[in-house]
Structure 1
Amino acid sequence: MTDKHDLYRMQKGFFRDAYRSGRIGWPRTGVSPIVRTAFERGYLGPGSRVLEIGCGEGRNLRGLWPGTAAAVGMDYVEEPLRTARKSLPEKVSLVQGDLFALPFREKSFDVVLDWGVFHHLKKPERERYPLWLLHLVGSGGILLLGAFSEKFRHHPGEVRRQMFVRHRGHYDVFFDRARFSRAMGPRWKLLWQGEENQGDGLSYYRLGIFQCMA
């Protein structure tokens, strides 16, 4: 098995174990500001068909429904989907699926939300990622992206010499403002960039709204 498959298999185990143990280091409640911003700027609305990749326990799905036409959450581990199902209306669909083998037909959605998946991909997969999303939304489609800021720290005093790290069984990549603006390549135009933080002095995230221009 290749190193790539070993890495992603290891990451899947990391997230499964985190949800089973309850030792989760990312937000579980409250909607990301990128959802509110997308509604305010008209990129989300009553006619939007939205897919959240890596939906976890559904914190952002609660903000997407009922303001959109359809909301679908996908995660590649089952544990958080069980929790999400208990708190979300039945009209919100939940799917266990893999980013590398997306179980959706071409142009099934108008908007894709990814808060927390892209920054766990290595460079070859990050380079293919814009094409995977193009299949989902087509030209004119919208991506709402949340990823680790360069200011993110796993613990106080953490020092990094590069913009990526393997940490506790998973891979993290970090983005400064310029790198984030280029993250989706030439086919996607950055419409808005912002920041989210959890108020702990450690957890900082880049937020971006991109549109597919292919």
Structure 2
Amino acid sequence: MNAKEKTMQHFNKTAASYNSTSDGKFVEPMYEPILNEIQKLQSGKILDVGCGNGNLFTLLPDGKYELYGVDFSENMILEAKHNCKTKASFLVADVEALPFKDNSFDIIICNASFHHYIHPNKALREMQRVLKDGGILLIGDPYVPSLVRPMINILIKFSEKGDHHFYGFKEMKNLFIKNGLSPVYFEKTGEHTALHIAEKL
């Protein structure tokens, strides 16, 4: 079973109880810095890739943004629809084949899911494709210190959660540039989390 299959299995299994799991508790502190970036935009169309149970969208004001979420866990999408009601539209979809037209979104969020992607370049190309010119990509992901990251990236291949690779700031910057995105800035948002921001020019 590869990392993608493990990821789907893990999140289908934990969707109903996600908020009380270690994953749910880990990701919660990442919401505030992402929300701060989103709220710099007065209105617009937003896509959450790997949206999980829709928690992030429940924290945004009603009616201000046009909200869409995708996740390839069917059970997570069911939870997201239940939690957000008519506030957002949700679809089961893979980041490698997003079901949207080119230049569709003002902001794309990818929170705590990028480290699961086994084809990061393909994922970034798809996100870049559906992002509008001048649009912003916000990637929140685990932060692992550079000294231990190589060893951790070997060990996570055995993870049952489907973790695939943890990225440093320089590595993420190079991925952005390679896939048509301009790095804006990177910041450590917590002891174990970081926010990577890029713009489509």
TM-score > 0.5 by shorter chain: yes
1:31–1:63 Cα contact (<8 Å) kept: no
Q: Does 1:72 align with 2:65?
A: no
1:32–1:196 Cα contact (<8 Å) kept: no
Q: Distance in 1 between matches of 2:161 and 2:182?
A: 33
Cα deviation, 1:168-199, whole Å, max 9, x if unaligned, reads 251331122322333322421222322233xx
Question: Which structure has greater helix proportion?
Answer: 2
Q: Which residue of 2 aligns with 1:27?
A: 24
**Gap change, CA 1:74 and 1:159, over 3 Å in 2:** closer
* Identical counterparts, % of pairs: 19
Over the aligned positions, Cα root-mean-square deviation in angstroms equals: 2.8
Q: Distance in 2 between matches of 1:162 and 1:91?
A: 38
Shift, 1:141, TM fit: 1.8
Q: Which residue of 2 aligns with 1:91?
A: 87
Please report the TM-score for the alignment, with normalisation by the length of structure 2. Answer: 0.81
**Gap change, CA 1:182 and 1:159, over 3 Å in 2:** closer
Structure with the bigger RCO (C-alpha within 8 Å, sep 6+) is 2
Q: Does 1:180 align with 2:167?
A: no
**Structure 1 spans left out of the alignment, 5+ residues:** 153-157
Q: Distance in 1 between matches of 2:82 and 2:5?
A: 27
Q: Which residue of 2 aligns with 1:50?
A: 46
2:51–2:70 Cα contact (<8 Å) kept: yes
- Number of residue pairs matched by the alignment: 194
Q: Which residue of 1 aligns with 2:198?
A: 210
Matching residue's letter, 1:26 = D
**Structure 2 spans left out of the alignment, 5+ residues:** none
2:140–2:196 Cα contact (<8 Å) kept: yes
Please report the TM-score for the alignment, with normalisation by the length of structure 1. Answer: 0.76
Q: Which residue of 2 aligns with 1:126?
A: 120
2:160 aligned residue (161, 165, 168): 168
Q: Distance in 2 between matches of 1:95 and 1:79?
A: 11
1:180–1:206 Cα contact (<8 Å) kept: no
Q: Distance in 2 between matches of 1:169 and 1:38?
A: 28
